[in-house]
Amino acid sequence: MESNKSFVNFSDRTALKVALVGNPNCGKSTLFNALTGLHQKTGNFPGVTVDKKSGYAKLNNKLTAEFVDLPGTYSLYPKSIDERVAFEVLCDPNNADHPDITIVVADASNLKRNLFLVSQIIDLKIPVILALNMMDLVEQEGDVIDAIRLSEKLGVKVVGVSARSKEGVDELKAALLQPLPVPQYDFIDIKKIAGELIEKISAIVKVNSDFVAFQIINNFSEIHYFDKKSDKKEKIGEVLAVSKVDHNKLQSDESVERFKIINRIVEECITHKSALKTESFTHKLDGVLTHRIWGYVIFLTVLFFIFQTIFFLAAYPMNWIESLFVSLSQWASHLLPVGEISNLLVNGILAGLSGVVVFVPQIALLFAFIAILEDTGYMARVSFIMDKLMRRFGLNGRSVIPLISGVACAVPAIMSTRTISSWKERIITIMVTPLMSCSARLPVYTLLISLVVPHNKTLGFFNYQGLILMFMYLIGFIAAILAAWVMKWILKARERSYFIMELPVYRTPQWRTVGLTIFDKVKMFLFDAGKIIVAISVILWFLSSHAPSGRMKMVDEKYHTPEMLSKYTPNEVEAKISAEKLEVSYAGILGKSIEPAIAPLGFDWKIGISLVTSFAAREVFVGTMATIYSAGNTDNNQTIRDKMLAEVDSKTGLPKFSIAVGFSLLIFYAFAMQCMSTLAVVYRETKNWKWPAIQFLFMGILAYVSSFVVYHILK
């Protein structure tokens, strides 16, 4: 290796673009959060629906750095859409996100494997800083990494960091202001592997290094950055067709050459002083947590604990929030004069808001638990133990991550299927992920469970409501894998799948990261879902407060006759007027029109209105019920649950929300595809309306049939 270097200095700039790239589970996202804090935004990379996370940090008085968090990748051989993004951003100087500086984040406790990607990026001949993350774990293991010698061997700046504790983060920022060496040598002599082809490609297209030409050869079918007006791509295709390239052999030869050098570097730069204590602890714990029997038992126990805790802890702040909105409704009713404005505020806006805000404690707790499980490294174990089970149903271990992510939201979960290389397994995962009970279903489950399941406790802390909530999540998972098993036999594909995942060491959760996750998800729920819920609540208020010409007046005249006034008390008259006005309103007409179709499920026209509106988003069900029951009930001292509990079936005289109706609704919402955003993202990911159409139909039929069976069994 040659020692001559050239340097670049960006300290005189006002803006700097920095890319963060690294292997999965190397701590890249934690380092990104440490560098940028709350100054982050999300979007999509140009031309693809891959999540783009960028953030900003001041490096000095005039220079601001934009950090772009690239999808995790093991190498510059893209096997999935996510990995292709990292490849194109780094290899194409004309890409909008091509960085001025690339920070390669490496797991210092597993340096040998991480150096493969580092060595490839070095061969791109772009300014690079190697951030050795998890240095605290290396010290715990008793190892010593000679960062100065490693820097000399690689020809790049090396900075040791511990992103979780923020150690070394300031030094990393300072390194961006210093002159950085640009690699001048080739980590390996790539021309020994494909010299003739590299020369032909370089003659067609201008490249920064021989390795970029080598990557064009290897990834030609995956490259999309050539100018459409240019004939370069066609010429390269002709060269490769004539040469009959064996891509597997080229990649294999390159890997062998790289690891020859990497092995020597690791031997020279790492000193082993003692046994691997952390690894030993990890292995011992994995012996239990990944056991073929106990692994599943422990996972179910963890889920049981989570759902029990969600119901137990969230009850207190939820009761406080409900009381707050009841007080606000009373205050607004007394303060404002009777009329359209007060009616809109109390029965439209406040009723809709209460259906959003009241569930924030449960949403926050759910995402807190998910973030903790991910940050400790346990989620990776869940993927590992589930791989064997998943394969029997046409999936693999990588499908577990989208399925588990679907507990939070199906949209990012479906987008995360890009890491699945097999087309068949990816399509099946996309199709069944919405069956997992997402956070949008949580408000619906909570409301309905509180109506039909008693608060009686069993075994002290554990309660029936928490058990039913866990059952709802399990039934979604069971439905998902059974649907996958059916699709396994319907969809045909010849490609073979594989599952590779490195299990990270166990760590204590980074509470700042957990806090950022909770903040981000609650904000998304309040402002994204909240806007939809409140908007629909206002529309529903109008539809439930207005009717075709003369109908409202006829109801008033009907109950203000001497006969009615003598038969009922003033409060009873007011209640009957409100209920009948709701029935003759535009909303009532809509509900009545679909009632015949949903009556076999135990649903009435009021529930029917909620089913229609919640196709925008499932959680709209709660806001709709709040608005409908507020419009038909003049008592502002009651919560939405109180109003629904007081609802009586006009035919039987019994409570409307019986166990049969409640569980019928629960099952319907567990299976029905009631999320326009999910259907839209399925189309974006598959580029064909066939898949969201099939998904909508099969989930709708499953929901209707299951709800019908449950209602008639329990009735």
> What is the spatial distance between Cα 475 and Cα 436, in angstroms, rounded to a whole number?
8
Q: What is the pLDDT of residues 511-542, one digit of tens each?
A: 877 887 788 777 776 776 667 667 777 777 78
pLDDT of amino acid 342: 75
Residue closest to 298 by CA, chosen among 311, 306, 289: 289
Q: Which residue has the higher pLDDT, 249 or 626?
A: 249
Sequence-ordered list of residues with C-beta below 8 angstroms from that of 474, at least 6 positions apart, any chain:
303
Of 268-277, 342-351, 361-370, 376-385, the one with minimum mean pLDDT is 268-277
Confidence tier at 3 by pLDDT (50, 70, 90): very low
Check whether 273 has a pLDDT greater than 70. no
> If 0-12 CB within 10 Å is exposed, 13-18 middle and 19+ buried, where does residue 697 land?
exposed
Check whether 229 has a pLDDT greater than 70. no
pLDDT of amino acid 702: 95
Cβ pair 307, 470 in contact under 8 A: yes
Q: Which residue has the higher pLDDT, 409 or 460?
A: 409
pLDDT of amino acid 501: 61
Check whether 348 has a pLDDT greater than 70. no
pLDDT of amino acid 2: 39
Q: How far is CA 547 from CA 505, 543, 589, 631, in A?
A: 63, 7, 9, 13
**Mean pLDDT value of segment 449-478:** 78
> What is the spatial distance between Cα 36 and Cα 27, in angstroms, rounded to a whole number?
14
Amino acid making up residue 375: D
Q: How far is CA 612 from CA 10, 134, 135, 531, 689, in A?
A: 56, 50, 54, 17, 22
pLDDT of amino acid 422: 74
What is the SS3 assignment for 279?
helix
pLDDT of amino acid 623: 67
Q: Which residue has the higher pLDDT, 130 or 71?
A: 130
Q: Which of 161-175, 551-565, 677-691 shows the highest mean pLDDT?
A: 161-175
Of 191-200, 213-222, 297-306, the one with minimum mean pLDDT is 213-222
**Mean pLDDT value of segment 392-415:** 73
477 membership: H or E segment, kind and range:
helix 464-490
The angle subtended at Cα 307 by Cα 304 and Cα 312, nearest 5°, is 120
pLDDT of amino acid 600: 93
Q: Could you give the percent of the chain with pLDDT greater than 70?
A: 82
Check whether 667 has a pLDDT greater than 90. yes
Q: Are strands 143-145 and 128-133 parallel, antiparallel or unpaired?
A: unpaired
Amino acid making up residue 712: H
pLDDT of amino acid 675: 76
Helix 111-122, helix 247-269: angle, nearest 10: 120
Which three-class secondary structure string do you get for 45-78? CCCCCCEEEEEEEECCCCCEEEEEECCCCCCCCC
> What is the spatial distance between Cα 463 and Cα 453, in angstroms, rounded to a whole number?
10
Sequence-ordered list of residues with C-beta below 8 angstroms from that of 300, at least 6 positions apart, any chain:
none
Single pTM value for the model:
0.60
List the structure tokens of 431. 């199709």
What does the chain come to in residues? Answer: 715
Residue closest to 402 by CA, chosen among 650, 126, 678: 678
> What is the spatial distance between Cα 384 and Cα 400, in angstroms, rounded to a whole number?
9
pLDDT of amino acid 42: 52
Check whether 432 has a pLDDT greater than 80. yes
Confidence tier at 24 by pLDDT (50, 70, 90): confident
pLDDT of amino acid 278: 47
Q: Are strands 40-44 and 128-133 parallel, antiparallel or unpaired?
A: unpaired
Q: What is the pLDDT of residues 72-86, one digit of tens each?
A: 888 888 777 777 788
Q: Tell me the sheet residues that pair with 64.
A: 15, 58
pLDDT of amino acid 212: 83
Query: To which CATH superfamily is domain 6-182 assigned?
Result: P-loop containing nucleotide triphosphate hydrolases (3.40.50.300)
pLDDT of amino acid 4: 42
The angle subtended at Cα 43 by Cα 59 and Cα 358, nearest 5°, is 105
> What is the spatial distance between Cα 498 and Cα 120, in angstroms, rounded to a whole number?
23
Check whether 57 has a pLDDT greater than 50. yes
Q: Which residue has the higher pLDDT, 460 or 349?
A: 349
Q: What is the pLDDT of residues 475-485, one digit of tens each?
A: 998 999 899 89
Check whether 271 has a pLDDT greater than 50. yes
Of 61-70, 151-160, 225-234, 298-307, the one with minimum mean pLDDT is 225-234
Of 53-67, 422-436, 627-641, the one with minimum mean pLDDT is 627-641
List the structure tokens of 509. 């959760």
> What is the spatial distance between Cα 235 and Cα 204, in angstroms, rounded to a whole number?
7
Check whether 122 has a pLDDT greater than 80. yes
Cβ pair 445, 469 in contact under 8 A: yes
Query: Which phi-psi region, left, alpha or beta, contains residue 266 (left: φ > 0; alpha: ψ -120 to 50)?
Result: alpha
Helix ranges, 336-456 (H): 340-343, 351-357, 360-376, 378-391, 397-405, 410-415, 423-432, 441-452
Q: How far is CA 533 from CA 447, 518, 662, in A?
A: 16, 21, 22
pLDDT of amino acid 36: 86
pLDDT of amino acid 311: 66
Confidence tier at 670 by pLDDT (50, 70, 90): very high
pLDDT of amino acid 75: 84
> What is the spatial distance between Cα 451 and Cα 453, in angstroms, rounded to a whole number?
6
pLDDT of amino acid 682: 84
Confidence tier at 45 by pLDDT (50, 70, 90): very low
Domain ranges of the chain: 6-182, 191-272, 294-453+460-490, 531-714
pLDDT of amino acid 617: 66
Residue closest to 599 by CA, chosen among 612, 624, 591, 652: 591
Return phi, psi of residue 58, to 5°: -80, 125
DSSP state of 503: P
Residue closest to 373 by CA, chosen among 395, 401, 412: 401
Check whether 65 has a pLDDT greater than 70. yes
Query: Which phi-psi region, left, alpha or beta, contains residue 535 (left: φ > 0; alpha: ψ -120 to 50)?
Result: alpha
**Mean pLDDT value of segment 424-429:** 86
Q: What is the mean pLDDT of the chain?
A: 79
> What is the spatial distance between Cα 115 and Cα 133, in angstroms, rounded to a whole number?
13
Residue closest to 666 by CA, chosen among 351, 452, 359, 479: 452
Q: What is the pLDDT of residues 546-575, one digit of tens each?
A: 788 778 778 777 777 777 777 777 777 776
> If 0-12 CB within 10 Å is exposed, 13-18 middle and 19+ buried, where does residue 367 land?
buried
Q: What is the pLDDT of residues 239-260, one digit of tens each?
A: 877 777 777 788 888 888 888 9
> What is the spatial distance between Cα 93 and Cα 99, in angstroms, rounded to a whole number?
8
Residue closest to 327 by CA, chosen among 116, 104, 615, 637: 637
> What is the spatial distance between Cα 105 and Cα 641, in angstroms, rounded to a whole number?
50
